[in-house]
Structures are given as structure tokens and as C-alpha cells.
């Protein structure tokens, strides 16, 4: 793993190394092995708070180093207060997607590799047997998506009565994905006396309300709001006709500097189609979306991380929280009609201070979405003028909508 700290977003004082956060030797050693030398801002703020045993409300998105911000102090607290009889689930991390669960599990295993603590990951869409076997052997830390967790609990495979540290990760996504009832059910079985950590990329009123039911007198930490994270990412727009997007993608990928790229499409069908076209042009590509089996998704992600697959084509839900070290290129094959999605997509790159480039293909119909994006990020994205597939049809004529039996005139977009 490369040492990414040299290009870290914020240069911290030399005194602000992991050593100064009073982290115990076995964890420090593992962090060094990961190649980290300087804590990220969320880690500098959160680690001392969590080590004190205080509840925490963290406003931070994936890519800021927030996983280590909770995993490191939790591992340290568990190590300090060891139970030597049969292992109990003492820490529970709940996160919305399997990809995130797996990545968080990998982080606990990496940072905790010299502590002797054990962690298992629980998520749906796969056979439960390996998960229940791991639970039977006994684990200290469980990272889980809510549905399967409740399922295994109801079947009697695990109990949460010994949980000392509870982390709710990506709380806003959790609500978006309809997990609120599952979270509420979990709260009824967790011990009242526990430390709770709550992370969310955004803090709208319903999230604050949920946080207040989980946290007790929390300390608050906040890092880089969504719109400023994107400032470090080099962004450009290609105006292109819809029918030429495939040709443009193939053209763009002729650039050998693009070692790997994560391409976003709106639909699963679209993702498969793009993969087919890339394969036809000898670009090694795989798709990752909800119709693929869990194993296929994991395999595609592993191939992409190992750079044996050059292009991973993903839909938004499948890509949520995908964490690929040093991913430099994100390509928006389509512009989403939800501006925040653009920010989440390009946030897959430029992580923990690494370089990032986001290229977006915009056809005539998507110009309005682009304007929303630029409003959200409060800047104009630079336009690539010289490319072989410039936009020709600037004003697509849509079928007029019928309203009360009358035809309404088509409004044409003449901007840009």
C-alpha cells in the first residue's frame, strides 16, 4: 500500500502523527504497515473522543478516513478491557451495504491484526452458514447490514446484549435505503449502557432526530462538507450526443494514463451494455450492479482492485462506498438527475488526499442536470472542447406531453 499522506488534503503539524494520539503499539504497528503516517482530520478529531468513551456524532463522508477514525479507538478499547472467556460480540458496526460492510471488516482486520481481536462480517444475499459458523467460534466485532443481522439474531445465532460499542455508519444512506425500521428494532435489543458512534455524510433534520434517539450527550465532529471535497478533484465535461457516448468512452480510454476507471451508468442494463462494447474494443471491463450475485460483485471488485480489470462499470447503489485505493478516474457515462449523486460518484476518487479526475459525458437532455450539479458544487466544470464526438443535436425535440387533451409546446434548451 502506498503512503498517501504526502499528498494529504490537509497538512497537519508534525506533532500530529498517530503516536501523539496515544494509540497502543500493536495498532500503531498495523497502521504503519498500512502505510499511514499522518491521521486524517476526522481521525485527529474523533480518535481521542472515542478513546474517552464519549458518544460521537460525526459528519463525514466515505473517503475521509472515517472507518479508521472509529475502528482504531474501538480496537484499542476492546484490547484494554479484554475478556478471556468465550468471546462475546462487544462491538457492532451497522452499515447500509454489503460492500461497505466488507470494507469495514477488512479495515478492522488490518488495523487489529496484532491485537488478537476477531471480527466477522454479516450481510445478505449469500448463504448464512459461513457467517453463523464464525459467530459460533466467537467474535469480538461484528460488522453487519441490518436485514441479515436481524435475521440471524431472530434465529438465535447471535445476541447483542454484550455490545459495548455501537456504530451506525452512513446513517443518511441507511434512511434513503429504507432501513429505519430495522435500525429502530436493533435499538430495542442493544444494551442501554453502551458507547454509540453515529456517522453521516449529511445532517438533515430527520438524521439529527435519529441521532438524538441513539446518542447520549455526544461530541460532534465534522469534516469537509460534500461540496468542498470535490474541489481537489479535476473535473471536466464532454458534450456529446447520446448515440456517440460509447464511441467517446472507447476514445477516452485510449489514454494509457488511465490505468483504471470507474464508470457510472444510470441503469443495470446500461452497465452491461457498456461492458459489452468495451470488451468488443479489447478493454477489460466488468459490471457491478444489483442483478449480479454477491460473489460476482466481489470478484469484479477484487479484479478491479488488482488492476486485472481496467474498467469497472457500476450503478450508483452497487458502487456506494466502493473503496479502491488510488482510484484516479471516475467517468460519468450519464449525468444523474440528482446533483448529489454526482458528488457521491466523483467522491470515489481523490480519496484521503490522492489525486482524482472526473470526466462526465453530457448529452443535450442532461444539460439541465449539469446545471444543478454546478449549482451544488458552486463552480463551473471545464468543458473539453476538442474531442472527436462533439454534440451536434443541441436541442432534442421530445415528444410533446399531452395535458388536458391539449399539446403543450416543447421548450428547447438553448443554454450552453
Nearer to ligand AMP, 104 or 183 (CB): 104
Please identify which residue in the block is written with the cell numbers 468495451: 278
In angstroms, rounded to a whole number, what is the distance separating the alpha carbons of residues 317 and 335?
A: 15
268 touches ligand AMP by CB under 6 A: no
Judged by CB under 6 A, the chain residues 106 through 135 that form the site for ligand AMP are none
Of 39-47, 227-235, 267-275, 382-390: span binding ligand AMP (CB under 6 A): 39-47
Q: Are 347 and 225 in contact (CB under 8 A)?
A: no
195 touches ligand AMP by CB under 6 A: no
Nearer to ligand AMP, 46 or 370 (CB): 46
Minimum distance from CB of 204 to ligand AMP (Å)? 21
**What φ, ψ does residue 126 adopt, rounded to 5°?**
-135, 170
Nearer to ligand AMP, 64 or 91 (CB): 64
287 three-class SS: strand
4, 98, 148, 245: which one binds ligand AMP (CB under 6 A) = 4
110 three-class SS: helix
Nearer to ligand AMP, 140 or 323 (CB): 323
Judged by CB under 6 A, the chain residues 311 through 370 that form the site for ligand AMP are 323, 325, 351-352
State the first-to-last Cα distance of the chain, in angstroms, to the nearest integer: 43
Total residues binding ligand AMP (CB under 6 A): 18
- Cα distances (angstroms) measured from residue 375 to each of 29, 127, 266, 361: 44, 45, 21, 18
Distance of CA 95 to the CA centre of its chain: 10
Minimum distance from CB of 372 to ligand AMP (Å)? 26
Minimum distance from CB of 67 to ligand AMP (Å)? 3
Nearer to ligand AMP, 38 or 246 (CB): 38
Nearer to ligand AMP, 106 or 340 (CB): 106
Q: Which of 127, 151, 121, 126 has the alpha carbon at shortest distance from 139?
A: 121
Nearer to ligand AMP, 26 or 39 (CB): 39
40 touches ligand AMP by CB under 6 A: yes
Nearer to ligand AMP, 36 or 123 (CB): 36
In angstroms, rounded to a whole number, what is the distance separating the alpha carbons of residues 328 and 400?
A: 41
In angstroms, rounded to a whole number, what is the distance separating the alpha carbons of residues 288 and 294?
A: 9
Judged by CB under 6 A, the chain residues 45 through 74 that form the site for ligand AMP are 62-68
Minimum distance from CB of 230 to ligand AMP (Å)? 15
Of 34-42, 179-187, 280-288, 374-382: span binding ligand AMP (CB under 6 A): 34-42
Question: C-alpha cell of 37?
Answer: 503516517
DSSP H/E element including 121: strand 119-122
Q: Which of 298, 334, 296, 299 has the alpha carbon at shortest distance from 315?
A: 334
Distance of CA 214 to the CA centre of its chain: 23
Nearer to ligand AMP, 206 or 325 (CB): 325
Minimum distance from CB of 31 to ligand AMP (Å)? 7
Q: What is the DSSP string of 144-199?
A: E-HHHHHHHHHTTS---TT--EEEE-SHHHHHHTT-HHHHHHHHHHS-SS-EEEEE
Q: Which of 229, 176, 261 has the alpha carbon at shortest distance from 344?
A: 229
21, 26, 36, 332: which one binds ligand AMP (CB under 6 A) = 36
Minimum distance from CB of 40 to ligand AMP (Å)? 5
26, 39, 58, 218: which one binds ligand AMP (CB under 6 A) = 39
Q: For binding to ligand AMP (CB under 6 A), which residues are involved?
A: 4-5, 36, 38-40, 43, 62-68, 323, 325, 351-352
Amino acid at each position: 500500500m502506498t503512503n498517501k499522506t504526502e499528498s494529504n488534503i490537509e497538512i497537519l503539524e508534525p506533532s500530529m502523527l498517530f503516536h501523539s494520539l496515544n494509540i497502543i503499539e500493536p495498532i500503531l504497528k498495523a497502521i504503519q504497515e498500512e502505510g499511514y503516517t499522518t491521521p486524517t482530520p476526522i481521525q485527529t478529531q474523533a480518535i481521542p473522543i472515542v478513546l474517552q468513551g464519549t458518544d460521537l456524532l460525526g459528519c463525514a463522508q466515505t473517503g475521509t478516513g472515517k472507518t479508521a477514525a472509529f475502528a482504531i479507538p474501538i480496537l484499542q478499547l476492546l484490547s484494554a478491557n479484554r475478556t478471556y472467556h468465550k468471546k462475546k460480540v462487544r462491538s457492532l458496526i451497522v452499515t447500509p451495504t454489503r460492500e461497505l460492510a466488507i470494507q469495514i471488516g477488512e479495515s478492522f482486520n488490518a488495523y487489529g491484526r496484532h491485537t488478537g481481536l476477531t471480527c466477522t462480517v454479516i450481510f445478505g444475499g449469500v448463504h448464512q452458514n459461513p457467517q453463523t459458523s464464525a459467530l459460533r467460534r466467537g467474535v469480538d466485532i461484528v460488522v453487519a447490514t441490518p436485514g441479515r443481522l436481524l435475521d440471524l439474531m431472530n434465529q438465535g445465532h447471535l445476541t447483542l446484549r454484550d455490545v459495548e460499542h455501537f456504530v451506525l455508519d452512513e446513517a443518511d444512506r441507511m434512511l434513503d435505503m429504507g432501513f429505519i425500521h430495522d435500525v429502530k428494532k436493533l435499538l430495542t435489543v442493544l444494551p442501554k449502557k453502551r458507547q454509540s458512534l453515529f456517522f453521516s455524510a449529511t445532517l438533515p433534520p430527520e438524521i439529527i432526530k435519529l441521532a438524538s434517539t441513539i446518542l447520549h450527550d455526544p461530541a460532534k465532529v465534522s469534516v469537509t462538507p460534500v461540496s468542498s471535497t470535490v474541489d481537489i478533484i479535476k473535473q471536466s465535461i464532454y458534450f456529446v450526443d447520446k448515440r456517440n457516448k460509447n464511441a467517446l468512452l472507447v476514445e477516452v480510454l485510449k489514454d494509457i494514463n488511465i490505468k483504471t476507471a470507474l464508470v457510472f451508468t444510470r441503469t443495470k442494463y446500461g452497465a452491461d451494455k457498456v461492458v459489452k462494447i468495451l470488451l468488443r474494443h479489447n478493454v477489460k471491463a466488468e459490471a457491478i450492479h444489483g442483478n449480479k450475485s454477491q460473489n460476482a460483485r466481489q470478484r469484479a471488485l477484487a479484479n478491479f482492485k488488482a488492476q486485472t480489470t481496467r474498467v469497472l462499470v457500476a450503478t450508483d447503489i452497487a458502487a456506494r462506498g466502493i473503496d479502491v485505493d488510488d482510484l484516479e478516474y471516475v467517468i460519468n457515462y450519464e449525468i444523474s438527475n440528482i446533483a448529489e449523486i454526482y458528488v457521491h460518484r466523483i467522491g470515489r476518487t481523490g480519496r484521503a488526499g490522492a489525486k482524482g479526475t472526473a470526466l462526465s459525458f453530457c448529452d443535450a437532455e442532461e444539460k439541465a442536470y449539469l446545471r444543478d450539479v454546478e449549482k451544488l458544487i458552486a463552480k463551473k466544470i471545464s468543458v473539453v472542447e476538442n474531442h472527436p464526438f462533439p454534440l451536434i443535436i443541441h436541442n432534442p425535440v421530445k415528444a410533446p406531453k399531452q395535458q388536458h387533451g391539449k399539446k403543450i409546446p416543447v421548450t428547447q434548451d438553448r443554454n450552453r
